[in-house]
Structure 1
């Protein structure tokens, strides 16, 4: 079974400095039918105006992923990490038993466009952590590259969620398939362009949630950039 969440049906908040679309319930946007999917709790598509951002605030017991699409995101946290995340880079912060951080626009004069994704951890109260990864564009060209997983692998971020994240870019005849073990869930978020997922055309901002499907098949991309999650239910 495949359920498609269209871009135009998402929740939306306009705070002036921040414009944010919510795939699932978040902050003032509440839909009891959209409280997450498997271990996924939040997929927000954010645009932050120049010179602004999220001030220092706290989180606990959540795996937080940031994927920058345009501009740059400046990060600072209570663990002593500070840096800038640029397009093609991803960040994972394990909030664990507690961390405070800020995320601000790091691109003077430009809007920063990024995805903020939260996943429920497999265990609570762990030591908080932070990691950042630049993903080689060649790894994603016409294929699905593993970006984050519960186990440590070279070229992959480790997080504490029962989920694996793949990223891919597809045009024309390029295609890829990801098998899903029995009982696993799949979620595809289209960050740019359009692509067919199991025969259904999705466009930027759309998401497909797959349950009781043996595989995820992607093809017929048009400037498509996608995030693909293999999730525990």
Structure 2
């Protein structure tokens, strides 16, 4: 390839940029060892992304995903009208990962980025990565400096604020109960002759997964991170059971 082609000028595009990683990834890799089944389980996230509607939620233009190790960058053309649906699509990835034993954390912003195949860089990527790294808990951190994000309208219980930032809680009960989460593979039915719903079954499995993660957390920081989510889910789980 000609050196002039390698160093040819590029331009940034304004995009909605999402950076997320898998919390405790090194521990997952060590636990998998050389077991092919467990190694295959580590490939869950790319599969979840492919099956999610997160890219289809972008009304027009190109959408890109680049993943490497425990990190993933997603950029989609920014459109205020479809922003909520993109966040709902991302939330489905977070929930699906948690049900499979993985917790994610993400930073979301709107800004300038260059993203083509495996090449991705730009101020917006830096900002999204910084938001994610400071978010502490498993959730989606929104850039408070972007009015379009701070004015985001989502289902009740999904938006919050604390000392670590403005965030979306993708594990909120209202989201699990909503039509935005595709649950056709888990139909309403009965459990021990008691009528039950998709949302209750999903939330019960989520609670059990979090209890298992909490038991396996080896030091103070991971325990605090998992416990933040476990406490929220446990409280909401009691509410759907009338407790």
Q: TM over 0.5: same fold?
A: no
Shorter-chain TM-score tier: under 0.3
Q: Indicate the structure with greater helix content.
A: 2
- TM-score (normalizing by structure 1): 0.26
Q: Indicate the structure with greater strand content.
A: 1
- TM-score (normalizing by structure 2): 0.25
Larger Rg: 1 or 2?
Answer: 2
